[in-house]
Amino acid sequence: MKLDTPIKRMIKPVILILGAIISFILNYYQIGLLIILIFLIDNFYQLSIFWKKDMDEKNLIKEIDNAITDNLEANLIIPIALMDQQGNIKWNNSMMNEIKSGDNLVDSNILSIARGIDIEKIRESTNETHQRLILNNKVYDVYSNKVDYKKDLFLIYFNSVDESKDKKKTNESVMLIEIDNISEALDTVEENLRPLIVAEIEQKLNSYGNRIEAMIKKYDKNKYILSVLDKYIDQEIESKFTILEEISKICKGNKLEITLSIGVGRGALTPNENYKFAVIAKELALGRGGDQVVVKNNDDIKIFGGNSKEIEKRTRVRARVVSHALKELIYESDNVFIVGHKNLDMDCFGSALALSTIVKKLGKKRSIVLGNDTFAIQPFFSKIKELEEYNDLFTTYEKAYKEITDNSLVIIVDVHNRNYVGNLDFVENAKRKVIIDHHRRSTDIVGDALLNYIEVYASSTSEMITEIIQYILDKPSVSVIEAEGLLAGIYMDTKGFSFKTGVRTFDAASFLRRMGAETTEVKKLFTDNLDEFIQIAETIKSAKIKNSTAIAVAPNNSNTVIVAKSADELLNITGILAAFVVCDINGDIYISARSVGDINVQIVLESLGGGGHLNIAGVKISDKSVDEVLVMLKDAIEKYLKVGE
């Protein structure tokens, strides 16, 4: 058994004292005196060692203190402490107060200051040791060294990771520029004018690069990379990136306005990390419809621009590629769960219903997971529940939690923002996820998706699902009621084919009509009863108009359908370019916004935590009154209009 040092120290004097006592008892006085003499000599020797050791330790501490005091910078930069083998602090500099405030930390134990530090590791190591600790919500790299001429003393110093990064981070940003619609714009002009447009774009971008003293390199027909000093990016942020407007003013006979998507990465430790930030930022700009700049500084994201309408992409290449990828993911899954957003609407539900049929035809078990927020789809949902073929289709989140496996696939339709998915916990617990959505990309996107199909140019998710059906199935077909569900989704999001309607929208509607969808049946799904009509009329009556923008308040506890329809109806009034309807529903404040396109309601409501499209957006705000939200909304509108000027 290994004895502790204090016990070992007691053995020798105890033996000597016992020996002396026994000698005197047995009348061996000379031997007893000899033993006492040996005891006194040994104690004097041990005492001299202790005095010497104590003086050496004091001298060492004094030398360190003098050295640190002479070097004022070292005393101010990082916390430093000297400790013994038991972790008791023998000396510390003034910066240790950053970790634990106190007039005197000497003789206190290091564990009382830096809980989690491994004293045993420090004591046993012959080289420098390193540990990472979180102290007072800050991350520290803790290093230790043995003091050379005293093995039982250790120098500990704490280096703040955050401060280290601030000191080392690069002062250059990476900018990626992509021309959004060069092909579409060139298609609108005569062939002899196309080189002039391309030349003017290049001239303006190169001039812009020279103006901000950037290294600029064209690496594709419509893509550029720039390396820029941070100070110039700060200037661009201040001026709201005027290059967007300069490019949009190019007019050489082109009928389409030319726009840019720009991603800026900054604030990282290396240029490569800044480049990765810039890639993410540009993808976000493209996913939000282009014509904007996204600046990513670590976790901080700023967005500028985004005031133009999205231009429809006529190519179906991406739809075909996504369809094949989705097909493979479904085949590889045990079962498939389809989820939508809170407060289901016909675009979300119609898409989910048709998608469930695709999964079934591919031979996999499928479920549509529903909450209690089905009011807006009740007319259609009631018809579905009467059909026997859909008896096993719908489930609750409680049941889905029990059935989901690591190899299940969760398909999220008509939403990608974490704050608006039907059940965030269920979605985040899923190992395998797919997102299919048409809303402008949010910064708060559901993470770790195997496949992101966010097509901001599409009129609706129903349009996207209709295209997928035609590529994913060998014999594309859906039932009549499923076709009507999809057509209802398109009809709703395009406001009767009057908003954001492109060639592909009509192609999708044509396919659904061939599948038997009746437009009259679709129209019936959106009719109002008398009570709803009266509530809409009361809401419109409350509207106040300023700067061609109407703000109305719906009666308390109206439903979200009334709020949305009221906003739609306000746009039918001459002189109103944008409409915002506010309503208190069960303690939460809802805002539904519509625009004819001159005012970007998405940007307005994004500042309040919402999202959507340029001409359709919404937000839910908790813990505020209607009056407080009205003040916030008016401020957001004024700020948007001021920036626009």
Q: Which pairs from 41-48 meet CB under 8 Å and 24+ separation?
A: 42/12, 42/13, 42/16, 43/13
CA-to-CA distance for 437 and 417, rounded, in angstroms?
10
Per DSSP, 526 falls in state T
Residue 414, marked binder: yes
> Is 438 known as a binding-site position?
yes
> What single-letter amino acid sits at 43?
N
* Contact yes or no for 345/377 (Cβ under 8 A): yes
* Structure tokens, 362: 């591919």
How is residue 144 written in tokens?
């230790």
DSSP string for 16-76: HHHHHHHHHHTT-HHHHHHHHHHHHHHHHHHHHHHHHHHHHHHHHHHHHHHHHHH-HHHHH
Contact at 8 Å (CB) between 592 and 563? yes
493 is annotated as contributing to ligand binding = yes
**Edge-to-edge strand ranges of the sheet holding 409-413:** 394-396, 365-370, 335-339, 409-413, 433-437, 451-454
Residue 411, classed as helix, strand or coil, is strand
> Which string of DSSP letters, residue by residue, matches 465-487?
HHHHHHHHSSS----HHHHHHHH
Is 345 annotated in some ligand binding site?
A: yes
Distance set, CA 297 to CA 9, 160, 272, 274, 380 (Å): 61, 20, 14, 8, 46
Tokens of 601: 């309601």
Contacts of 373 by beta carbon, 8 Å cutoff, 6+ apart: 342, 343, 344
| Alpha carbon distance 296, 304 (integer Å) | 12
* Helix then strand then coil, % of the chain, to nearest 5: 45, 20, 30
Give the whole-angstrom CA distance, residue 356 versus residue 497.
26
416 marked as part of a ligand binding site: no
Report the C-alpha gap between 575 and 547 in whole angstroms: 9
Report the number of secondary-structure helices (H) and strands (E) in the chain: 23, 23
Q: Are the beta carbons of 82 and 147 closer than 8 angstroms?
A: yes
Confirm or deny that 130 is annotated as ligand binding: no
Binding residues, by number, are 341, 345, 347, 414, 438, 493
Binding residues for Mn(2+), by number, are 341, 345, 347, 414, 438, 493
